[in-house]
Chains A and B, each alone.
Chain A
Amino acid sequence: MSQFALEITNLKKIYDSDVVALKGINLSVKEGDFFALLGPNGAGKSSTIGIIASLVTKSAGKVKIFDIDIDENFPEAKRLLGVVSQEINFNNFEKVIDIVNTQAGFYGIPLKDSKLKTEITLKRLGLWEKRNEQARTLSGGFKRRLMIAKALIHEPKLLILDEPTAGVDIELRREMWDFLKEINAQGTTIILTTHYLEEAEQLCKNIAIIDHGEIVENTSMKDLLSRLDVQGFLLDIDKSLDQPPSIPNFPITLEDPTTLNVAIKKDQSINHLFDQLSALGINVSSMRNESNRLEEMFIEMVKKH
């Protein structure tokens, strides 16, 4: 078995409207990885996922799932793949349990086995209590969970999630992150597209950034973050200021009279900053990151491209 869960070679997609969605991308995702595919709207993320899942026909190129070429043995490749689409794709008038059971049946799982698998999967995703409710009565968050339950029912080795937490509240998003981390730890390779860069930073080991149908970055999350040489911090101080204090080599602005915004380079000592502030009679009561660092880098990369 290949060490790669997914290998994409020179993948192209040109839609009937002559829109070039993918310009020949190459991408490899290792088995067991938690991989982020990021990009702005219309960059080609959903086209890529659509082709892998056979929802979109490719114009050229090769896709292999665990070394199985989808053109040569699609049934076997599909057995290894679970897909959580961006949009709700089940019949809202069916019961939760029927939706998952039917999906299991489409994967060839006999009814007797699928009932058991459905029970386990629904319990795992906190949907068991809602099993007899029509899907249309579920909240947005539960609908997302149902999508994941459907994708996991045949125990895929590669799970692809296309913006799974879009429109989901913070609490549920965190729960979903924990769940995804858990199944990744159990050996399922996960590929995630998301607009929440914090999500990618929290979950993913490796990352690719796609823009205008091309991969503009493909590296480890650690490597990407290490390239950030400046980081912004917000310092809550114990007194009110009209103007930011002036400290050499530390550009400081005032967020509000009691909050300082400081840009600190990687090679600068934060202790030195505290000493300088202390000398000016300013004590720091708490400190936090200014904003998502990855977000800043992402915007820079897409802008350059």
Chain B
Amino acid sequence: MRRRNEILVSLITLIRKEIKRYLRIWVQTLVPPAVTMSLYFVIFGSLIGPRIGSMDGLDYIQFMIPGLIMMSVITNSYANVVSSFYSVKFQKSIEELLVSPMPNWAILVGFIMGGVSRGVLIGCIVFCVSLFFYPSFTIVNPLLTISVLFLTAILFSLMGFINAIFADSFDDISIIPTFVLTPLIYLGGVFYSINILPDIWRNISMANPMLYVVNTFREGMLGVSDVSIPFALSMIIFFIAVLTSACLILLHKGVGTRQ
């Protein structure tokens, strides 16, 4: 019982620290996604959108909203964990955690919760911004929407954690987001339905994991999707389980954390 309370206190401490970290620098962490997404809504939604017409039977701006929210959630949950965990490694404050009785799983959960909270918070901010451009937006399946929102934030926080474990320099924490995540997100159905693509590109797109995340979220918000929802949800949960195990093994072995 004592041990359980001790772990709970340490976990809450780490989560509080992580949340305080990004709230303290809110101009760098919370404002930019709101500004960027506003620009997307203005340019692609309000200016170009009406010329494009409908997508999957929906107004283009309406179609874009779930994709842009997901894009923000993915990039921010990933960025939060990768930068936070690499920073504690870089400035050696990771020693504060390693010398304490906190178990590895609590350290992992603490950082992941930090990333999830930022991802979800920014998802909510972007949604609020979208209401300014499309006030009549209603969510079709709130349960699925919220579930996918959290699962996606968890999944990409875990990826950020693994990136940070292996990172040896600040360059290492920007390579994956720039050269892997961003292209996959842009080509993952944020701005279009893969049904408008030629067969070959549609088939290639099916191999993009972002497509499943974006479309599952779109199914929750709008009730339209290009992929099988049970399959997509299963894959998200499967990858969360695999990445969680990988993180715990890496922490146990001390890869990137202990000499």
Instruction: List residues of chain A with CB under 8 Å of any chain B CB.
Output: 15, 50, 53-57, 74-76, 78-79, 81, 83, 85, 87-92, 102-103, 105-111, 150
B150 to chain A, nearest CB (A): 25
- Is there a chain A Cβ closer than 8 Å to B157's Cβ? no
Contacting B92 at CB < 8 Å: which of A75, A85, A105, A111? A85
Instruction: Name the 10 nearest CB pairs between A and B, nearest first.
Output: A105-B13, A108-B6, A75-B101, A106-B100, A89-B92, A78-B101, A89-B95, A56-B259, A108-B9, A57-B254
Give A103 to B95 CA distance when docked, in angstroms: 10
- Is there a chain A Cβ closer than 8 Å to B58's Cβ? no
6 of the cross-chain contacts (CB-CB < 8 Å) are A55-B259, A75-B3, A91-B91, A91-B93, A105-B13, A150-B96
User: Which chain B residue lies CB-closest to A56?
Assistant: B259
Interface contact A106-B259, CB-CB below 8 Å: no
Q: Which residues of B are found within 8 Å of A150, using beta-carbon distances?
A: 96
Give A91 to B21 CA distance when docked, in angstroms: 11
A55 to chain B, nearest CB (A): 6
Q: Which residues of A are found within 8 Å of B196, using beta-carbon distances?
A: none
Interface contact B92-A88, CB-CB below 8 Å: yes
Give A87 to B94 CA distance when docked, in angstroms: 12
Q: Which residues of A are found within 8 Å of B17, using beta-carbon distances?
A: 102, 105
Interface contact B13-A106, CB-CB below 8 Å: yes
Give A109 to B259 CA distance when docked, in angstroms: 28
B118 to chain A, nearest CB (A): 18
B185 to chain A, nearest CB (A): 30
Chain B CB count within 10 A is highest, among A75, A79, A92, A106, for: A106
Q: Which residues of B are found within 8 Å of A79, using beta-carbon distances?
A: 101
Q: Which residues of A are found within 8 Å of B97, using beta-carbon distances?
A: 106
Interface contact B13-A102, CB-CB below 8 Å: yes
Give A91 to B95 CA distance when docked, in angstroms: 11
User: Which chain B residue lies CB-closest to A83?
Assistant: B99
Interface contact A90-B258, CB-CB below 8 Å: no
Give A189 to B253 CA distance when docked, in angstroms: 30
- Is there a chain A Cβ closer than 8 Å to B5's Cβ? yes
Q: Which residues of B are found within 8 Å of A56, using beta-carbon distances?
A: 258-259
Interface contact A54-B99, CB-CB below 8 Å: yes
Interface residues of B in 46-69 (CB under 8 A from A): none
Contact with A along B1-23 (1 / 0, CB 8 A): 00101110110111011000000
Instruction: List residues of chain B with CB under 8 Å of any chain A CB.
Output: 3, 5-7, 9-10, 12-14, 16-17, 87-88, 91-103, 253-254, 258-259
Q: Which residues of A are found within 8 Å of B14, using beta-carbon distances?
A: 105-106
Chain B CB count within 10 A is highest, among A87, A92, A108, A110, for: A108
Give A87 to B101 CA distance when docked, in angstroms: 21
Q: Which residues of B are found within 8 Å of A54, using beta-carbon distances?
A: 98-99, 258
Contact A107 B100, CB 8 Å, known A15-B259, A102-B13 = yes
Give A78 to B14 CA distance when docked, in angstroms: 18
Give A56 to B17 CA distance when docked, in angstroms: 25
Q: Which residues of B are found within 8 Å of A90, using beta-carbon distances?
A: 91, 93, 96
A166 to chain B, nearest CB (A): 15
B192 to chain A, nearest CB (A): 42
B28 to chain A, nearest CB (A): 13
Give A111 to B10 CA distance when docked, in angstroms: 10
Q: Which residues of B are found within 8 Å of A76, using beta-carbon distances?
A: 101
User: Which chain B residue lies CB-closest to A13?
Assistant: B259
Give A89 to B94 CA distance when docked, in angstroms: 8
A171 to chain B, nearest CB (A): 27
Interface contact B10-A50, CB-CB below 8 Å: no
User: Which chain B residue lies CB-closest to A54?
Assistant: B98
Q: Which residues of B are found within 8 Å of A110, using beta-carbon distances?
A: 9
Contact A57 B100, CB 8 Å, known A88-B92, A105-B10, A106-B14 = no
Contacting B10 at CB < 8 Å: which of A83, A92, A108? A108
Give A84 to B32 CA distance when docked, in angstroms: 39
Contacting A55 at CB < 8 Å: which of B13, B87, B93, B98? B98
B242 to chain A, nearest CB (A): 24
Contacting A106 at CB < 8 Å: which of B3, B5, B10, B92? B10
User: Which chain B residue lies CB-closest to A87?
Assistant: B92
Give A37 to B242 CA distance when docked, in angstroms: 44
B24 to chain A, nearest CB (A): 8
Interface contact B9-A109, CB-CB below 8 Å: yes
User: Which chain A residue lies CB-closest to B7?
Assistant: A108
Interface contact B95-A105, CB-CB below 8 Å: no
Give A109 to B101 CA distance when docked, in angstroms: 11
Give A90 to B259 CA distance when docked, in angstroms: 18
B191 to chain A, nearest CB (A): 38
Q: Which residues of B are found within 8 Å of A81, using beta-carbon distances?
A: 99
Q: Which residues of A are found within 8 Å of B9, using beta-carbon distances?
A: 105, 108-111
Give A81 to B101 CA distance when docked, in angstroms: 10
Chain A CB count within 10 A is highest, among B94, B96, B98, B101, for: B101
Contacting B102 at CB < 8 Å: which of A87, A89, A106? A106
Give A91 to B17 CA distance when docked, in angstroms: 11
Q: Which residues of A are found within 8 Å of B87, using beta-carbon distances?
A: 91
Interface contact A105-B12, CB-CB below 8 Å: yes
